[in-house]
Structure formats: structure tokens, C-alpha cells
Structure 1
Amino acid sequence: MTTTENPTTTAAAVDPGPLIKLTIADCAAKALHSGVALGVFGALADGPLDAAAVADRTGTHHRMLPDFLDALTGLGLLERHDGRYRNSELAQTYLVPDSASYLGGFIELTNETLYGTWGRLTEALRSGEAQHLDPDKGGFVGDRHKDPAKMKRFLAGLDAYSDRMGTELAHRVDWSRYTSFTDLGGARGNLAAVLTQAHPHLTATCFDLERTRPLFTEHISGLGIADRVAFVGGDFFTDPLPKSDVIVLGHILHGFDTERRLALLRRVHDAVRPGGTVLVYDRMIDDDRSDPERLLSSLHMRLVSPDGSEYRIADCQAWLREAGFSDCTAEPLLGTHTLVSAHKEATA
């Protein structure tokens, strides 16, 4: 006599919780986006408030606000004591407008562009083509230089991130061995500013498209370091790269295919002075391709660009060696990135 397994019993034995949580993962992100858009974290910047006071300051309706504030609390963005809410340390550090570490501009632009792009994932998987948003309907990916106001907001949002990256690189690298560095794709120069402020003996060059120059000039002049951080406009593949002891490529190689990555690294090798170093950081894929966050980052690059993707650490090291560098090393950076360093031989 044979027995038939009850499919209902079998299904019940497997907890569907992780699947349900994954299905509604975007709800938490939208709660964060709405909190930023409504000014919740700014309203709580000076101290705790009850829900009614938060509603008054943010113009929100009382019907939904308690659940919304408690959800933000559960997500670790707020804290609640005796019916009053205050920002968590994380929110107070990164979500209060006008603070030096504010990430709200980046979060707002992510909200505008990420959902539209990823909403086309199925279409992209079928066609293999990058998905671009209509710039007349709020699109930004791939066209950010065409709208100066959006570009400024985007870069201001990234400054808080580059502050952390610059601080980390300032301690990871023995800068006493060098006097100059170039940040390729350095935008308005914030990473260069952090490094030169941490190491006053350094001078820096920010190399980016010429149309970025006004944003760079405004930012660096405001910091009072225009005498130590210069801007050179140009194209990575056609214009001379500035000669430097160190060249930094952060979030650059993931925008190109393997052939162009190698071509760029050869040009970088020519521009690094003998005895100098190249620093490459990206959300590189672990060599056994098992980290879902890194793989989703790679998928995102494929969604928004025809040739881009993240790449394995071992691949990056191989390209650097083929370009002429030696002594390649790799180490985790900020928990989300990998830093690969390599050196150019000193002349005899």
C-alpha cells in the first residue's frame, strides 16, 4: 500500500516567513523615504516629541501617523519612550537636514529612480537591455549631468558617504610615502577634500567631465582648500590622466566592460609615478559569488548601463597585473566594499 504525502502538511513544515519578508522588503525602504520627504527626522532633531507634535510639525494626518512612527521605531530609525519619539543615533547622524553627514539627498533621488528602474527588471531580463528612465518624468539614472539642480542634490547626498570613505582611506593607506593623488571621477572633490584635510602634506587633483567643474569650484572654494585640490576636466579614455603618486578609482570600473576596464587601468599605470600606487574600490563580488547584496549591486549596474556590472576581486587583481601593476592586495572596506591596492615598480 502506498501513501500519498499531503502537500498542505509539507508546505506547512517549511516556514514561509522569509519569503513573505522578502516579498514586502520594499515597504521598509518606502517608510524611510517618506520619513525623509516629510521631514520627520528634522522635526525630532532637537529632542523628543509625541505623535501629535510630530503631526503638527510635519503636516501629517493623525490617522496613520502612530503606526508610521512605530514602524520607524521598529526599523531602528526612531526610539520611543513614554509615548514620545526621538531619533535613533543612526537617524540623528545621517537623516537630519543641514547636518554635515546628511544622506537625505541621496535617499530622495534613490526613491525617484530606483523603483522605476527595478520595476523593469523582468523586461530587462528578457531583452538584456539597460533600462533608462524618461528624464521628463523624473528620470535621473544615466542623465544626472543634464540637470544641474539634480546633480547638485545627488552629489551633496554622496558627500556624507565620501566623508566616511575618505576617513577610512586616510587611515588605511600610508600617505606619508606620497605627496600627490588623483581621484578619477571625483565629482565635486569631496573625497579629495577629506584626504587632504587629514594629511595636509598632500595635494590632490579631481579628474572628471568638464561640465562638473562649476560644482567642484563651488564646493572646494567653500571649504577653503582651492590651493591644494585642483580640477582637471576630461574623458578617462581620450584625455591625458594627471600624473600622481596615487590614483584612486572609486565606483569607476563597474561602469565598463572588461576590455575598457583593462584599457583604463593601462592608462592609469602610465599616469602613476614610479613607486606609486593605485587604489580601486567598488562593491566587488566575492570570488565564490555568494553574497546577495554584492550580486544585487551588480544586477543594478546591468540594469542602468549597457556594459557595467560589479566584478570579482580576483578579476580586479588580474586586470591590475595585466596592466603592469604588482603586489596586489584586497581588504574589506566599510562593510559594503572591497579595496584593492597595487603598486607600480620604482625605476632603477
Structure 2
Amino acid sequence: MLPAMAPTRDAVAGPRTGPPPAQTVAAPAVDETDPAGLLRLGLAFCESKALLSAVELGVFDALHETGSSDVDELVARLGLHPRAAGTFLDLLVRLGLLTRAAGRYANGPGAARHLVRGNGSPVRELLDRANRMHYAAWGGLADALRTGGRRPEADYSVMPRDPQRLRRFLNLMDALTTAIGPLLAEAVDWAAVRRVADVGGGRGHLLSYVLTAHPHLSGVVFDLPHNAGPFAEYVAARGLGDRMTFQPGDFFADPLPAADALIFGHVLHDWSPRRRAVLVRRAYDALADGGLLVVYEGLLGADAGEERLPRHPATREEQPDVSGDPVAALDMLLFGEGSSEYTERECRQLLGGAGFELLAVRPLGERDTLVVARKP
């Protein structure tokens, strides 16, 4: 979804193809009586777009390869027009992204660590997606607020027909689960589990961490058919072909895999409360007695004792709950039909309503909450 310094799953019924969950920072205090403060807030998109453009143009990649470059070298290497290149690079210096000494530019520490392709940080992939999709989508926020509908940028139905777009999306999902995978492998007691299924698991990146950490496990990825090819390539490269399989399907229409544990990671928030309940009930029906449901989401913190914004009575089930992070909730409006962030209390009620017995609720990494439940 929306990166705030700077997050997945398809608009059609099926696995994880919506926007990644929003990672936002607290909005700076603005004195509403101060024109300078209001203008700073209103024009913050200029600096944001400078960073996103630098990622798109490959500025940080080029400086990583050369160590340092002057303006003329970067103009030639990146195909920039000389008229504004120096001003653009100086803005990146002012933002702390680059350093400049003796007329030569180099990556700052944060850029070197997080904004160079292939350095292992998810930030680069998040910002690349923000530039390609979220920036344009938020430009249409007023229209979305009038219509209640998602933006055209969020039409994921074209992804199966666009291999390049699909690969970019899978790269982003892998970047996100690189941080979550090892944590999930340690946070859940997998001792009694023999077979685990990642519902909406893409090409298997998250599941590979769990299986690598626990050699007694085998696993299956359940996702839409167009991910079968990327899955086969990935598991072959990881040497897990004898322990991981792929089951194509639509989780609203097809049976979920037979497994001792089902993982729903960043899946449920892509759907309306009514459809979330359907998915959780289908998970309950698919699991044998004693089976585990493992959910991780960027759950909101507000509970039933806190003030809530009213929902329109005619569409009560389909309205996003914006009692927690309003930026995340609005991002769901822009990128999903009926999708919404939801609270920890709502998650407990959702699982309990399906018959699950709650085992654990705990933080998972910096922004996610892990919820583990068992079918009695």
C-alpha cells in the first residue's frame, strides 16, 4: 500500500493481489493558522515525487555502480536533459538522499542501504510501486470520495496478461515477505503441523522461509493459475521442489488445500467484512480438528470502546472502518472494491464467529499483528 517515508491481491475473487498494506508515518503537526505550515503540507507531494522520480530514473543504482558522478556523467548515463539535472540532484542532496563534494554526487547512507536495486531492502520495491500506481491513484482521491469506487490504476485483472507487471508485483510481494518470513517461522509452534498451505502465497517466497526453518514440514501454495509458472521457477531455484507444490484456484469458488495449517497473510483486508467472513468460514471447513489458522495483517488498534465514524446504513458491510489509520483506510478505498482495514477486536470476533479458538495475538515485525487460532 502507500509507502510513507513510504503496502496484495486480485480484484477478481482470488488470492493475494491487492495493494500491499500501507506503511505510514505520523502526520507532522500543522498549525492551521500558519500559512507557511499549510503550504508545506499541501506541497509535500513535490519532494515525494522527486524521490520517486529518482528511483524510476535509476539515480541511486547508477551512483552505487560508479561510487560518485558529476552532473555531466549522470546526464549521459541516465539520459537526462542537462537543463534541470543539476537542480534535481541538488534537491536530492537537500532531502538527505545524496551527498555532494567537489562537484560530485554520491548516495547518502539511507539511499545506499535502501534505494539501490538488489540490496535486499523492501523499500525500493515499495517506492517503485508507489510511483507506478499509488501516486496516480491518490491524484484521483476526490473522484473516489464522490463515487466510492476504486481507481483505474487498481485494475488487477490485466495482470495475468502482462508478464512484466506480474513479475514486478511478485518482486514486491517477495520484498515484503523477506522481512516477515523468518519472523513467522519462529513465532508459530509448527511442531504438530506436517503440511502447511499459504493461501494467496504468490510464488512461494513466504512459505519457503517456514519450510527452510522446519525441515519436517511440506507445503502448498494456493493462488490464481497465472502464478504457477513463477512458482515453478522460484522453488526450483530454492531447491524446494520436493517439499512445495502449487494448487491453482479461486478461494471463493474452489476447495482450499488439505493442510494442518492455513496461512492468510495480508489477504482478509482486501475484502469486505462479509466476504472476509466467508473466507474464514471456508478455512474452518477445510481444516481438520486441531488445525491452525495463521493470520497476519496490519490490524488497526482501535477497539469497540473507542469512538467510531458512522457507517452509511445502506452499505454498512461494505464501508471501510477508518477508526485507526485514515491513510491506510483511504488507500483501501482507492485500491479495492469493499476492502477495508480492520481492528484486532474485529479480527478476534471474525475468527470466533467461525468457530475458531484463539491461541495467540502478538506483534509480528514493525507493523503487522499475528493471530493464531485453532479449530477445536
Match of 2:184 among 169, 179, 183: 169
4+ aligned runs moved over 6 Å, structure 1: 289-293
Which digits, 9 at most, give the CA deviation of each residue in 1:39-74, with x for residues without a partner?
111112246314334444333345534443343344
Query: What is the TM-score normalised by the length of structure 2?
Result: 0.77
Q: Is it true that 1:118 corresponds to 2:118 in the alignment?
A: no
The offset of 1:144, in angstroms, is 2.3
Which stretch of structure 1 is more off in the superposition, 333-342 or 250-259? 333-342
Name the residue aligned to 2:296: 281
- Distance change in 2, residues 1:266/1:159 (3 Å): same
Q: Is it true that 1:307 corresponds to 2:338 in the alignment?
A: yes
Matches within 5 A, 1:35-46: 35-46=54-65
Query: What is the TM-score normalised by the length of structure 1?
Result: 0.83
Question: Matches of 1:102 and 1:257 in 2, distance apart?
Answer: 28
Question: Matches of 1:292 and 1:44 in 2, distance apart?
Answer: 43
**The residue matched to 1:275 in structure 2 has which SS?**
coil
Q: Runs of 5+ in structure 1 lacking a partner? A: 1-11, 134-138
**The residue matched to 2:191 in structure 1 has which SS?**
helix
Question: Matches of 1:196 and 1:18 in 2, distance apart?
Answer: 51
Question: Matches of 2:182 and 2:33 in 1, distance apart?
Answer: 45
Amino acid at match of 1:49: S
Name the residue aligned to 2:252: 237
- Distance change in 2, residues 1:233/1:201 (3 Å): same
- Distance change in 2, residues 1:157/1:128 (3 Å): closer
> Are the aligned partners of 1:266 and 1:323 in contact in 2 as well (CA < 8 Å)?
yes
- Distance change in 2, residues 1:248/1:75 (3 Å): farther
Question: Matches of 2:353 and 2:33 in 1, distance apart?
Answer: 49
Higher relative contact order (CA 8 A, sep 6+): 2
The offset of 1:191, in angstroms, is 0.9
Q: Is it true that 1:77 corresponds to 2:118 in the alignment?
A: no
Name the residue aligned to 1:8: none
Matches within 5 A, 1:69-108: 69-80=89-100, 84-101=104-121, 104-108=124-128
- Considering only CA atoms, is the larger Rg found in Structure 1 or Structure 2? 1
Question: Matches of 2:91 and 2:323 in 1, distance apart?
Answer: 25
> Are the aligned partners of 1:132 and 1:141 in contact in 2 as well (CA < 8 Å)?
no
Question: Matches of 2:137 and 2:176 in 1, distance apart?
Answer: 22
Question: Matches of 2:218 and 2:34 in 1, distance apart?
Answer: 57
- Distance change in 2, residues 1:336/1:89 (3 Å): farther
Name the residue aligned to 2:350: 319
Question: Matches of 1:335 and 1:279 in 2, distance apart?
Answer: 18
Matches within 5 A, 1:2-41: 14-41=33-60
The offset of 1:192, in angstroms, is 1.0
- Distance change in 2, residues 1:81/1:166 (3 Å): farther
Which digits, 9 at most, give the CA deviation of each residue in 1:182-233, with x for residues without a partner?
1111111111122222333322211011122112112222222111121101
- Distance change in 2, residues 1:194/1:78 (3 Å): farther
Matches within 5 A, 1:172-251: 172-251=187-266
Question: Matches of 2:223 and 2:32 in 1, distance apart?
Answer: 56
Question: Matches of 2:117 and 2:256 in 1, distance apart?
Answer: 37
Name the residue aligned to 2:375: 344
Amino acid at match of 2:375: K
- Distance change in 2, residues 1:156/1:76 (3 Å): same
Question: Matches of 2:282 and 2:108 in 1, distance apart?
Answer: 46
The offset of 1:35, in angstroms, is 1.2
Match of 1:48 among 53, 59, 67: 67
Question: Matches of 1:99 and 1:205 in 2, distance apart?
Answer: 28
The offset of 1:102, in angstroms, is 6.1
Name the residue aligned to 1:136: none
- Distance change in 2, residues 1:249/1:102 (3 Å): closer
Question: Matches of 1:13 and 1:265 in 2, distance apart?
Answer: 44
Amino acid at match of 2:67: P
- Distance change in 2, residues 1:41/1:217 (3 Å): same
Amino acid at match of 2:54: G
Q: Runs of 5+ in structure 2 lacking a partner? A: 1-30, 310-321
Amino acid at match of 1:25: A
Q: How many residues were matched structurally?
A: 329
